[in-house]
Amino acid sequence: MAHYRAITGGDSAVWQLRALPVCSSTETWLEAWLKALPTGPLQRSYAVVAAHQTRATGQRGRAWSAPYGGVWVSAALPWPQQVGRSAGLAGLALAVAMAEQLERRGVPVRIKWPNDLLVDGAKLAGLLPRLVYRGSKLRLVRFGLGLNVTNPVPPLATSLRRLQGDAAGSPSRWTAEVMVAMDRCLAWARADQLSLSLSAAEARLWNDVWHDPIDGTVWGIEGLSSDGGLCLRRGVSRRCLRRWG
């Protein structure tokens, strides 16, 4: 929190934060925490941060180990009910906000649709968005985010230490940067300006083609739809991919 207050100055948002040395999954801890809260809209942002996860949850429920040295956070933000009813759009807005934080620190970032941040084609961070409803009312948005800082990384990935050496800083500092990016994303939602992040996301797209994993066909990427989908074209054929609703 000291890093967070240093970055934001006197304009800090109100967060409820739990920091764990190790856990199976920050998503599981956040889920239990949210269930213990009173029903109704959230009044502030909540986050669970772990130094190490033994069974983190990624895309399509895949389990993976999040080692010491990275930023592993699950957060719940009090999303406005009337805007941003698309997890894909919310996820891209956070990707843009996080890319801006990294670029301010000298790290050039591209976005691999729908949820990865790359540097020179190597994965630096990933995020997962999720809309949470109570009945028909949007109650909150949840984000899971992992950022490689000083931790060992697998092939085809990179870390801030690899990119910047000791100047990269610590996981605690970058946890604060992640919180600031989430603050900005929430501010865009409250101002009904999430769609403004689409052009910024398009400008940072990692590639201009998409390879269909089923039949191997290659599609050109035309841009992003208003709900964060990936618009594709192949000859006269067009399609739009959506990973989340």
Mean per-residue pLDDT of the chain: 90
Least confident of 2-16, 50-64, 115-129, 188-202: 50-64
The pLDDT score that the predictor gives to residue 108 is 95
pLDDT value at 64 more than 80: no
Q: What percent of the chain has pLDDT over 90?
A: 74
Place of tokens 């809209």: 41
DSSP output for 178-216: HHHHHHHHHHHHHTT-GGGHHHHHHHTBS-SEEE-TTT-
CATH architecture of the domain 2-203 equals 2-Layer Sandwich (3.30)
Mean pLDDT over residues 94-117, rounded? 96
Q: What percent of the chain has pLDDT over 70?
A: 94
Model's pTM, two decimal places?
0.92
Beta-bridge partner residues of 57: 63
pLDDT value at 41 more than 80: no
CA dist., res. 226 & res. 9, Å (int): 34
Confidence of residue 165 (pLDDT cuts 50, 70, 90): very high
The pLDDT score that the predictor gives to residue 27 is 94
Q: Which of 71, 60, 69, 30 is nearest to 48 (CA)?
A: 30
